[in-house]
Structure 1
């Protein structure tokens, strides 16, 4: 309440389970109620689209008018508020541009890797930009080749007038830096800028937001929220800026506050993940499960070949013995490939349970693709519970049609949903089903997509990217991935056991968490510069997801190269704790 009612700018450090999302929701609602002009806007920057959707829905459920709220990721913010309105002022954008998705980027990198050296892979091409240049995430001996590859990649993008996700930030920063009137205008419109998960924000993103705040000359307030203990995106450029650093950058004076009570986990769970806390603040359990007799286990003896059976045993124990709902169980691993494989093994071993995970998603989450936006409406059923959400999605689809040059004067949110609800298809193949529904809906609306280059480009990217993803997954045994039932699960409420990476599970919570692959070189990753800090943060994130039970596994015998095997994470081995034996 103190943070919400604070009249000035706030820098809020929030421990896991402390009500951060609730605080953000009510802060946004309060700031919306304080607006005095219909020209003002509240802007909330979230790390994921999922977080933006959750916060927006919570505000709408409070009955608060969100017409003057903009909420989304920093990339969406830069596109909507900086690149599209002011592209004419940038030499690389003034003749038009097209944003490509992650699939397009990966495909381009794969092609360039083949021409720049057989020892390069798309995993070597990771990079991020700073205000002064760029950083490449690869082994030192590959830096020269990867740099040459990226230079060609960027030149190819310039030639074809394309922009990838990283360049969205670069061009937005350059426009903000070189055209001061943009910052001045935005600073006069935004009454409050809120930033969620500040510890995952990049330096170039801080620079963009800082310039806008500074140009407001004290008119715009800032509300910055996050947890430095969960800063696990360092390899992607994220870092936890200090209040003093951001104050200098933005010209804003902050009131520093913290949320240190955990309402999620038991006292035993909190006491355990405090072992990996790198801050001086003390976290206390104060929620429903604070006195729960949690089971915390650490297994460093199970062989990799017996890992599936051990995870099955732990799942059954938590669900069938402890009475925990399957939707409250999460399997966590450090990397997608072993997780996808494990998901398929668990599906076969536990046919009575449903799962959601990396091996079971037929198309990538590409929120900026028009057809992805439309698929959300087509793949969800009309129901009172989903009406507000689907209505918002319909608004985004109509905005996308406007952007594509389609006349939408006769289309309303209700008419779009009504037309979508009336479409049926007998196709059992998910992609074929979607394409048939796309055609039927556009026919019902009287729109010819062939007249819009943007719609055609987005369609080709969506279909091709989805088909390649399906082909890769079916090739490794996930034959059901192509079925329409799997497509519907992408946007359905999660009812089964969740399988996720450490990075993907951040922000979520479950009664039982089972984590495997806790091995030096994976947790932390071998490329991390400060391995001790990285290991602490990753373990902190994993352990703080659990409400009741926590099971950690450092399996034996996982190969590392041709002649070595992975060893358990050093920080985990060094942690002295009275672990439980699970019967």
Structure 2
């Protein structure tokens, strides 16, 4: 049999992995080393060379898109369909098992699957039945508890409350929710996997059948498996079947959503006679980029160990830009993008990566100003995010009580006991009388159909908005935004509603809205009446939300969080915000395990770059409404000095690295007399600030100053009378 078509385009470790005998194997596949190719060729090898039936193969991956791609590539290699093989996601394959064995699983034949929103609605019904207040037992927090318990393989009877009333109550809700799901013949996503595991565990005849059928189990992205998925695989494999696991412990970055790095580390102990093959040849990045990645990740302990290398050239040095602040950082990135385009590159070849999606706002604003089309990959633009629209709705209603759209958005958000029936009654009354919803709410006591509880809740909401208006009237813009967010209790709501990384991302975005207000500088346009700062800022937010974002397939700069970037690659990558407290994130500083995951996240970011990698950090950054001077990220300090070209380093930050460089002013020479970028100054009206930019020369020279309380302002040097501090 001619086997060359299956292996002659593979390197030696790839061929070794593809041609392994029938045994369990762990393929440690480094970034850009062709792991999917190996997985696909392994399946084709088993069918074509080992003459195994496709019916004996089960291949698991994490997304439907990846599963479809895998099936397509296998069939293209073999030239025939592989209908008998099971290729899909964990949840998809578990669903298939339950459909085939619904009776043994204790389900109706027509059972339905709840999506995330359906699950929330079901939990709300359960809370009402238990007479529990949604404000205290928030449905999304309950869903988080239930899904985590299921992912750990725990039913209500398995959970120990240890005297904690909150856990006792959550477990009670979980039990009632399970009963409601069973009555209604529905299952949620976490239930699919847990129920299918219990099906195979408790039905020995079925267990034996599927163990006899699926002699070869192949798993992609093994480092991302959680405890339940690992238990499911071990149960299905038993003692005899082989598991071919492809993964990379250095790219395990989803611990916050349940992934267990211990799974890949324990694999060789849990599966007997296991072969380990390392795929270390990288086909994506230049030598310098790979050396930087290798040196960084070597600081993590407990790694299984590998060293990426390439036949490609060393390539360009890694650029490091020390920005004065976040605005300077964004302008530098924009300028480098323009240079790339001037040399014949395209926007779609470029990715801007950041740790927190709140960082996108300054880049979005700068790209809009510079007319650089961009796309926020896997997410929404800053002013389109739900939590930002919530805060803006409060601000709009404060400035305009007749704004019905804002009223409807926030009247019961966060929940305050104003249900949809109450809002419907207000709508009907408003339409029939020609009044706004605010006016209808003021007269709610005249609506006989509303309960005293509902009218009381409406009255408290009206009082809250009035309180906001009175409290913020004399304050600067940023403080107005901050106080409204605080009085609306939006941060507390999102922290409780979405525990962990997701809730933190939303509160970070709310903090960034305060920062945006600090930075906002109102410039009156010709033929436009003077506007109050808050009204001008709200108009600015609306206009920003409508600009810049490209459509799918357009030639756009790609902007994304580092978590979203995994699996992607780009010729030019910017890795931004490399400061202690931002990246690594402040929540990871005191936890060695989380700090190592942050380092793996940085490793993932570095290895997205094919030809050029540019790192940036800011010497000062306006965060949460105040200027912070965070130290440079330890991840930069952990990179090899010889690979870094420092574009404009901060002298003090690099003294410990022994780099003898001088910081140059970015001011035009004629404008720089007595002043320099980064210099602290004081203005008689605006207070203290820092010079961040400049333009012009002589008498017409202007400087941009970021003031602590008044935000960023352009001032003419000849008239500003700036005092150097």
* Fold-level similarity (TM above 0.5): yes
Q: How does 1:453-532 map to 2 (within 5 A)?
A: 478-479=545-546, 486=551, 489=552, 495-528=555-588, 529=591, 530-532=593-595
CA deviations over 1:151-175 (Å, ceiling 9, x no partner): 5366336414443322322222222
Indicate the RMSD between aligned Cα atoms, in angstroms: 4.0
1:8 maps to 2:22: yes
Q: Is the 8 A contact 1:4 1:23 kept in 2?
A: yes
Residue in structure 1 matched with residue 94 of structure 2 by the alignment: 78
Deviation, 1:265, is: 0.9
Deviation, 1:23, is: 1.1
Residue in structure 2 matched with residue 355 of structure 1 by the alignment: 375
Q: How does 1:296-315 map to 2 (within 5 A)?
A: 296-315=318-337
Q: Is the 8 A contact 2:123 2:142 kept in 1?
A: no
Residue in structure 2 matched with residue 21 of structure 1 by the alignment: 36
Q: Is the 8 A contact 2:374 2:559 kept in 1?
A: no
Structure with greater Cα Rg: 2
Q: Secondary structure at the match of 1:88?
A: coil
Q: How does 1:151-230 map to 2 (within 5 A)?
A: 152=173, 155-156=176-177, 158-160=179-181, 161=184, 162-214=186-238, 218=240, 220-230=241-251
Q: Is the 8 A contact 2:46 2:52 kept in 1?
A: no
Q: Secondary structure at the match of 1:359?
A: coil
Residue in structure 1 matched with residue 485 of structure 2 by the alignment: none
Residue in structure 2 matched with residue 66 of structure 1 by the alignment: 82
CA deviations over 1:302-334 (Å, ceiling 9, x no partner): 41244432331232233334x433222111122
Residue in structure 1 matched with residue 104 of structure 2 by the alignment: 89
Residue in structure 2 matched with residue 56 of structure 1 by the alignment: 71
CA deviations over 1:18-67 (Å, ceiling 9, x no partner): 11121112112222325757671422211233322333333333334332
Residue in structure 2 matched with residue 256 of structure 1 by the alignment: 276
Which of the numbers 32, 42, 49 marks the counterpart of 2:47? 32
Which of the numbers 281, 287, 292 marks the counterpart of 1:272? 292
Q: Is the 8 A contact 1:125 1:146 kept in 2?
A: no
Structure with bigger RCO (C-alpha 8 Å, 6+ apart): 1
Q: Secondary structure at the match of 1:275?
A: helix
Q: Is the 8 A contact 1:326 1:497 kept in 2?
A: yes
Cα distance between partner residues in 1 of 2:237 and 2:117: 34
Q: Secondary structure at the match of 1:204?
A: helix
Residue in structure 1 matched with residue 602 of structure 2 by the alignment: 539
Residue in structure 2 matched with residue 117 of structure 1 by the alignment: 136
Residue in structure 2 matched with residue 233 of structure 1 by the alignment: 254
Residue in structure 1 matched with residue 636 of structure 2 by the alignment: 572
Q: How does 1:348-427 map to 2 (within 5 A)?
A: 348-349=368-369, 351=371, 353=373, 355=375, 357=377, 358-359=379-380
Deviation, 1:226, is: 0.7
Cα distance between partner residues in 2 of 1:30 and 1:527: 46
Cα distance between partner residues in 1 of 2:122 and 2:626: 30
Q: Which stretches in structure 1 are left out of the alignment for 5+ residues? A: 136-142, 365-473
Q: Secondary structure at the match of 1:87?
A: coil
Q: Secondary structure at the match of 1:552?
A: strand
Cα distance between partner residues in 2 of 1:80 and 1:343: 44
Which of the numbers 341, 344, 351 marks the counterpart of 1:319? 341
Deviation, 1:537, is: 0.7
Number of residues paired by the alignment? 450
Deviation, 1:244, is: 7.9
TM-score with structure 1 length normalisation? Answer: 0.66
Q: 1:77 to 1:15 in 2, by over 3 A?
A: same
Cα distance between partner residues in 2 of 1:553 and 1:243: 33
Q: Secondary structure at the match of 2:289?
A: helix
Q: Secondary structure at the match of 2:32?
A: coil
Q: 1:326 to 1:212 in 2, by over 3 A?
A: same
CA deviations over 1:435-492 (Å, ceiling 9, x no partner): xxxxxxxxxxxxxxxxxxxxxxxxxxxxxxxxxxxxxxx97954489x9x94xx3xx5
Q: Is the 8 A contact 2:368 2:547 kept in 1?
A: no
Q: 1:120 to 1:171 in 2, by over 3 A?
A: closer
Q: 1:300 to 1:134 in 2, by over 3 A?
A: farther
Q: 1:535 to 1:354 in 2, by over 3 A?
A: closer
Q: Secondary structure at the match of 1:554?
A: strand
Q: Secondary structure at the match of 2:641?
A: coil
- Tell me which moved more, 145-154 or 275-284: 145-154
Q: Secondary structure at the match of 1:67?
A: coil
Deviation, 1:342, is: 5.7
Q: Is the 8 A contact 1:513 1:546 kept in 2?
A: yes
Which of the numbers 526, 545, 559 marks the counterpart of 2:623? 559
Q: 1:86 to 1:478 in 2, by over 3 A?
A: farther
Q: Is the 8 A contact 2:621 2:627 kept in 1?
A: no
Deviation, 1:147, is: 7.4
Cα distance between partner residues in 1 of 2:99 and 2:542: 40
Deviation, 1:8, is: 2.2
Q: Secondary structure at the match of 2:323?
A: coil
Cα distance between partner residues in 2 of 1:72 and 1:47: 8
1:102 maps to 2:116: yes
Cα distance between partner residues in 1 of 2:546 and 2:175: 37
Deviation, 1:236, is: 1.8
Residue in structure 2 matched with residue 372 of structure 1 by the alignment: none
Residue in structure 1 matched with residue 611 of structure 2 by the alignment: 548
Q: 1:304 to 1:44 in 2, by over 3 A?
A: same
Cα distance between partner residues in 2 of 1:23 and 1:342: 41
Q: Secondary structure at the match of 2:567?
A: coil
- Tell me which moved more, 343-352 or 176-185: 343-352
Q: Is the 8 A contact 2:292 2:640 kept in 1?
A: no
Cα distance between partner residues in 2 of 1:305 and 1:117: 40
